[in-house]
Structures are given as C-alpha cells and as structure tokens.
Structure 1
Amino acid sequence: MAKRITVCAGIDTGKRKLDVAIDGNCEQLQVENTAEGYKVLLEWLRRHKVKRIGIEASGGYEQPVVVELRRKRFVVVVFQPAQVRAYAKFHLQRAKNDKIDAALIAACTAAVKKIHPAPDPRLQLFAEHLTLIEQIGEDVTLYKNRLETCRDPRIQKVWKEEIARLAKRERGELKALVAAIREHRDLAQRLDLIYSVGGAGLPTAVAILVRMPEIGQLSREQVAALAGLAPYDDDSGEQVGIRHIDGGRKRLRRALYTAALPASFRWNPQLIALYKRLRAAGKEHKRCLIACARKLLIFVNSVVARGTPWQDEPPPSAIIAPTG
C-alpha cells in the first residue's frame, strides 16, 4: 500500500502580506494579511490538499492567520525565527526574500517529526492581557529610574504621580485578568495550585499559568528548558566552561527570576536553604537566584501534576540536586 504523504505549506508573514509556498511544488501565492486574504488562502490550501502549515513567529502579525487556520482544522506549526535560520544554515541556504522564506518554512514544516497540540485559545487571549500588565510594570520601572536621577522637586512630583497612576492601573488590570481566568473552572483550579506554592505570588502564578500551558504535563528538565532556566554545558575537549542558561520564554523567565529573590529570602524554606547552600559553595548571587527560580518552577510543575496544593515539604518528584 502506498505511503500517504502529508502536503505541507509554509507562510512568510509580513505586516500587510502573506507569502505562501508548498513543499516540493513551485506554485506560490501572495495574499493580503486580512480577513479577505484568509478566504483566498483557505481556498488555495484546500485546492492543493494541504494538511500541515508552518509559519514563523513575526511579532504578532502571524497570530490572526494562525487562529483562522486552526479554526478551520489545519495543523499549524509556529516556528521561532531561530529555528528557521538554523534550518537554512544547515542546508547552506543564504539567499533570502519573502518567496524564498516561504519555501524554506514549507520545507522546515515537512521535516518536523513531532507535532505538539495547539495551545489553548483561551490562554492566547489572556497572554495579550498579561503582556499589557507587564508593559505597564516596565513603564513604572522606567519612571522610578527617572525619579532617582531627578533633582527638581516639581519634576519629581510629576514622576511620582505617573508612578502612582500606572501602579494603580497595573493592580486593576491584574485583578481583571484574574477574574477572567476564574470564569473557567479548570483554569481557576490550576491557578490555585500554582499559587499555593511558597514564593509563587499571584503575578508569578498568573505568568506561569498563561505563559506555560504545558505545566504539570512535562518533566522537570523540560519545563526548565522551556522557561530558559536549564543550565547547559559549555565544554570542548579538555576545556570545561561555565554552565549557562539560554533561550526559552523570555517573559516567563523574567517573572520567575523576579519571584526568586523574595522567595529565596523569605517565603519558601526549601529555596532559602538552597540559596544559602549555593552561596556557601561560592556561587554568585545571580546564579543562585537562577537556580532558585528553576527550582520554584519545578515545584510548581510537580504540584500541578499531582493535583494537590503545596505543602511545607515538597513532593518527592520535585527534590533535585542543586546545580549552579
């Protein structure tokens, strides 16, 4: 019996245009990145019997078409730009334009062996709201930095008023986001499990819930890698380099790192002990906090997987040998 071949397409996303190519087929398409353009795209994909579509993350410009394609039951693989660049480099492809990129993404899509389930669409909407809250927090930090270097009392008053206004908005938006999450019983239960872990404050718990839908379903090594908190070796021959973190989900990593400081000094006995042990071993403050952030996430992952709230002693599956 002949082996069934999955027809794969690739989409290069621009602010206004979508360039589309099919792996192994010279025919290409360009449509507007609009609802009307999606209708033409869907008809073209169906005519060519495309089942799987790859698309490169492009600052959010790809999200509307991804939502529409998934709504129409297409399998969509969203690539990080680094993945597509690495694939091109491996195949020694240096030429670059929108049509070439679309064909490259199509070939990259065909090469994928494991297809992960599409993320929960509810969390995608919450992610936009969470980004707003995080950006407001970044603005607060900006104004605080300006306040520190300002000597004019009148201007100081301006910055203080802006800080108070934004901080109030930040609290209000977080409250609204939590209320929206709690309208979904399953998400509310997961949020409560995350929040039960010592050191995972409400903003951190929301960040983990929204930024890591896989929480509780993966191994501790996998969640650490997804958050960009896994330490990687840097050895070659007789040279032994310092282990370092790399990649991962930037905003989630930032939320966990921010939570690690109070958690490892006040809120979580296990993290307090870990921090002291690493410092006594000569580790730098920042590396100790990274290790604590990683372990905090591992504790959360174990609690969600187990389905019962955090206790003073962590579940056995969450106990790991500390690494710097």
Structure 2
Amino acid sequence: MAAVLPLTRYQPLEDWRRQLRAYQQRRMQVVAVVQQQHQHQQLAQLDARIVQQLAARAELQVLRQVNGVGPVLVASLAAQLPELGRLSGKTIARLVGVAPLARDSGATRGVRRIWGGRAGIRQVLYMATLVAVRFNPPLRDFYQRLRAKGRAGKVALVAAMRKLLVILYAKMRDQLAAAATS
C-alpha cells in the first residue's frame, strides 16, 4: 500500500500555528456564548410579547386556572389547536396524538400506542403534565393510581397528558358556551 500511495512524514505544527489554533478554538467558544446570551434576550422578549397577547384574550384565562398550566402551554394551545373547545375530547386527544391507537390484526390484539398528531403541542403538554402530576391533586392522584396498578411511568404520564388535555378542552368548551349565551 505504501508503494502505491505517496506518504508524507508527519510534521508537528509550528508553535505559532498551535497557538493560533488554540486562539481560534477559544474564539469560536466565546462567539457561541455570546450568541446564546443574545438568544436568551430574544427569548425573554418573545415571552413578554406572548404574555401580553394572552392577557388581551379573556377566554384563555380560564385555562391558566388549572395547576400546572402556564403561559407556554396556553399559547401553544391557542396558536396550534384552535379547535380546542369546539370538537369532542376524543377528537382533540387524537389531534394532539395522545389517544392510544390500536394495532390489531385478525385475532391478534396489538399494543396500543400513541403516534401522529401535532407533535409541538404534545411536547409542550408533556412538560406541563410533569408539573401537573406534582402540583395538581386530581392529576397527581390519577397518576399515582395508575402507577400503583403497575403501569409504567411513561404510560401513566401519557394517560395524565390526555386527562389534562380533556380537562382543558372542557374548560374551554364551557367558556365558549358561556360567551355565546351572553
């Protein structure tokens, strides 16, 4: 192989090149930190605008009354799930992708899994449910009851996600009905 390929001997970098490489690597690290700080500032500005938009919409305030539900979840639901309160709870769960779907074939009963739906809402709902199973007594009891029955942690958490979504759906449905009658 060496007879075919022209091989060159390894030449270590000169001191000035090694020093320049170290400076360049450090510069790239500092640039990344500066960009991250700038992104934190932009994130804070966007969060302030989102909170301002949510405060202007009285019908969305009812969702904030549920423990574990914050402005990020309310904004995600308002922006990405306008059907909330207008369709059934089952349909909303399917739209978000937290309804267990069957994988049956003939006499075989497959494992029910969640899939599809609006992944962005599902991700935000997951984080909100992590908080809700700690601070929302009905959801905490529901989650602990499923765990006591032997359900896996993620399975119980997804069930709590669906329950939280259906609670939010019912609150929004009642809010829309009250607004329509007045």
Compute the TM-score of the two structures, normalised by the length of structure 1: 0.43
Equivalences for 1:104-119 in 2 at 5 Å?
A: none
Structure 2 counterpart of 1:296, one-letter code = L
Q: Cα offset for 1:160?
A: 5.2
Residue 46 (structure 2) pairs with residue 178 (structure 1): no
Partner of 1:298: 166
**1:270 and 2:138 correspond:** yes
**Total equivalences in the alignment:** 152
Counterpart-to-counterpart distance in 1, 2:35 and 2:141 = 39
* Structure 1 residue 253, shift from structure 2 partner: 1.2
Whether the 8 Å contact between 1:199 and 1:296 is mirrored in structure 2 is: no
Partner of 1:41: none
Q: Does the CA contact (< 8 Å) of 2:102 and 2:113 recur in 1?
A: yes
SS of residue paired to 1:217? coil
Secondary structure, counterpart of 1:240 in structure 2: coil
Tell me the equivalent position of 1:217.
86
- Alpha carbons 1:200, 1:263 under 8 Å: kept: yes
Distance 1:222 1:167, change over 3 A: same
Query: How many angstroms does 1:199 deviate by?
Result: 1.1
Higher strand share: 1
TM-score of the pair, normalised by structure 2? 0.73
How far, CA to CA, are the matches of 2:106 and 2:171 in structure 1? 40
Counterpart CA distance in 2 for 1:155 and 1:275 is 46
Aligned residue in 2 for 1:235: 104
Q: Confirm or deny: 8 A CA contact 2:55 2:61 kept in the other structure.
A: no
Aligned identity (percent) is: 32
2:68 is matched by which residue type in structure 1? G
Alpha-carbon distance between aligned partners in 2 of 1:253 and 1:211, rounded to the nearest angstrom:
11
2:120 aligns to what? 251
Q: What is residue 204 of structure 1 aligned with on the other side?
A: 73
Larger Rg: 2
Q: Which has the higher helix share?
A: 2
